[in-house]
Amino acid sequence: MPNLRTTLSHIWHALISGGRFVCAVWAEASKVPLLSFRMNIVMHGTPGPFALADTSILQGALSNAGFTSISIL
pLDDT tens digits along 22-67: 998 887 777 776 666 566 555 555 566 777 888 898 999 999 999 9
For residues 53 and 28, the answer to whether their CB atoms sit within 8 Å is yes
This prediction's pTM:
0.72
> Amino acid identity of 65?
A
**Predicted local distance difference test score (pLDDT) of residue 20:** 93
Structural domain boundaries in the chain: 4-65
What pLDDT band is residue 12 in, cutting at 50, 70 and 90? Answer: very high
14 or 2, which is more confident = 14
**Residue 8, Cβ neighbours under 10 Å: how many?**
21
pLDDT at 72 over 60: yes
Q: At what angle do helices 55-65 and 4-14 cross, to 10 degrees?
A: 50
